[in-house]
Chains A and B, each alone.
Chain A
Amino acid sequence: MQMSRETLRTAYRQMRTIRAFEDAVNRAFSSGEIPGFVHLYSGQEACAVGVCMHLDDHDYIGSTHRGHGHCIAKGCDIDGMMMEIFGKAGGLCGGKGGSMHIADIERGMLGANAIVGGSPPLAVGAALTAKTLGTDRVAVAFTGDGGSNQGTMFEAMNMAVVLKLPVIFVVENNGYAEGTGVDYAIGSRDIASRAAGFGMPAEHIDGLDFFAVYAAMAEALARARGGSGPSFIESRCVRHHGHYCGDPQGYRSKEELQAARANGDPLLHFRARVGASALLEATELDTIDAEVEQQIAAAVVRAREAADPSPSALLTDVYLSY
């Protein structure tokens, strides 16, 4: 697939932004600055970016509890996200959502979702809106291997096929649902083949390879926009961190963890690929790294210094009957 240098730079910048964002969140969480709990997306950057680079603001995505990467890839404001995670008034949800509920409806980001398997039916609904109103919008349902075992996923897939809706199911198989491995928890060991059984095109791809994700999404998107209904992509990737920030990960061997970081890094894969084919210079990429690093550091400072929500916000944005 032919890609311009500009597209490649954008892809790399987005992936680097996600990585730097998560590294910063990891540090801030570890130092006690972030309340609650967070789930880091590092290692899966190629999935979010490879998919969302095809989408416009008016397309929709539904996300997961591990949703920072999807938000960034869909164009959510970095400062607004960081403030939300810090629980500040200036956050994208006014501090009422937090890491697991970042949403930006105007950008088609229908929310990170703290219920595993929660968002596929919602994305199917967004696709129904597109079909009913006759727009060419599409919806993407991001889920993990854990979510892929939920009944909501099966119901959403069948509904999408029955109603021929413009939705793309993207399952990021990072090898673990919390602390349980996919080889144990996925009975058939093949999530895409299950999806194929629902009657839609389904494939598994190397989710560490941005180019593979980008190409698979291009095909799925063409089907969705062209009125041919849903598709399914199982993107096999690696989770660099634990299930949650601070997870000691006793369920993974030291060797596996080391290998995950060393061999399972989509940014390193990307650099090697564009370097080998002389598409981008390493120095260009280094410049992006430095710019992103600065941007994220500034976002942390702004979030740290931002105002807390006013206590009166407790009672707004909901009907109160008492």
Chain B
Amino acid sequence: MSKKTFRQAINEALHAEMQRDPRVVVIGEDVAGGAGGTGVDDAYGGVMGVTRGLVGAFGRERVIDTPITESAIMGMAAGAAVTGLRPVAELMFVDFIGVCFDQIYNQAAKFRYMFGGKAKTPLVIRAMFGAGFSAGAQHSQCLYSFFTHVPGLKVVIPSTPYDAKGLLIEAIRDDDPVIFLEHTKLYDIEGQVPDEAYTVPFGEASVLREGGDVTIVALARMVHVALEAADRLAASGIHATVIDPRTTSPIDEDTILESVTETGRLVVVDEANPRCSLASEIAAFAADKAFFALKAPIRRVTAPHTPVPFAPVLEAAYIPNAGQVEAAVRQLLDINADRKR
């Protein structure tokens, strides 16, 4: 166990699984970099350096640099998965899903069901996502609800280095297609990560903090925003439970519902646009299944329903922050206070 970054944790997971299983291959654009160039090999190691060192350890036969050709990457990975490899295909930015989604949601996601259970598609698709770098409208989105909506896909969204490593190893060993999403602003955060391989199961939420006044459910980078808000609230005697579902398909309804039943208040924090979002989904099942425990309306703290803006001042206004979460919680408590008066 030692302190590692989110980036290192993912790299370790890939390294460990490639070492363990020769069927695991990494496919994507510049996952090594330098093919056909005049400079050095492994020049990028992934555009964020996440896959650096893999080509040196496993060679270009298993760390496959592709042209910029996302449909062929995803289709090839799906075809390889159904015939015996365990590919980890990189989409780079999740925003690029638009040029290759068919190969994922119509093909890979459906093989097992459509073929009557006779096909396995052990495929992992890694992609980074999220705002915070002024990367603009086509490199900053949170699109996990797209994937979560599709039966046959599993969707993983880690928020800590420990979870990132354990969930990625679990994803690679899973026999269904798994979408593994990495928030760009989390790559440099640090946390304790065991050196050896381990798994974190899907569908088990992580309870990061416990408090009896309100339940805050948050995803990815928003987990850290929620924890910051919880700290601020604690200073004035308001105690929050903070839950990170970690996977949105499967999603751990039970842990969320149990907490809501105890606190009677729910705030969902989601960096995605609000319509048909995970925030809406979580609010919906809580309203459906924990309605009589609720002491106040459910609040969703999300980005506005706009594309992600470029200018830093606009982007900062776009991303949900701890102040908004804190305000939402205080508002819920005020509603109860008003009622009592």
Contacts and interface: CB of A to CB of B under 8 A. Distances in A.
A125 B77 contact: yes
Contact of B78 (A125, A139, A159): A125
A152 interface: yes
A123 interface: yes
Interface string A97-128: 10001011110001101110010111111111
Q: Which of B61, B87, B111, B152 is the most central at the interface, judged by chain A CB atoms within 10 Å of its CB? A: B111
Interface string B44-73: 000000000000000001101011010111
- Residue among B64, B71, B77, B152 with the highest chain A CB neighbour number at 10 A: B71
B62 A319 contact: no
A110 B79 contact: yes
B116 A92 contact: yes
Contacts of B87: 125
Interface in B104-119: 106-107, 111-119
Nearest to B118: A105
Contact of A105 (B61, B82, B176): B82
A158 B114 contact: no
B307 to A, nearest CB: 24
A65 B101 CA distance: 19
Size class of the A contact interface (CB-based, 8 Å): 35 or more
Contacts of B112: 317-318
A155 B83 CA distance: 20
Contacts of B116: 91-97, 317
B298 interface: no
B278 to A, nearest CB: 12
B125 interface: no
Nearest to B281: A322
Contacts of B103: 118, 121-122, 152
B154 A124 contact: no
B80 A321 contact: no
A318 B113 CA distance: 6
A103 B117 CA distance: 11
A31 interface: no
Contacts of B106: 114-115, 118
A321 B176 CA distance: 13
Contacts of A110: 79, 82-83
B117 A122 contact: no
A278 interface: no
A113 to B, nearest CB: 8
Interface string B141-165: 0000000000110100000000000
Contact of B118 (A93, A120, A129, A162): A93
Interface of A: 60, 62, 91-97, 101, 103-106, 110-111, 113-115, 118, 120-130, 132-133, 139, 151-152, 155-156, 158-159, 162-163, 316-321
15 contacts: A103-B119, A105-B83, A118-B102, A118-B106, A121-B78, A122-B75, A122-B82, A123-B79, A125-B79, A128-B25, A128-B76, A128-B80, A129-B79, A133-B85, A321-B251
Given A121-B103, A318-B151, 17 more contacts: A91-B116, A93-B118, A94-B117, A95-B116, A101-B114, A105-B82, A105-B119, A110-B79, A115-B107, A118-B107, A124-B75, A125-B75, A128-B76, A129-B83, A129-B84, A133-B23, A317-B112
- Lowest 3 CB-CB distances: which A-B pairs, in order? A121-B75, A125-B79, A94-B116
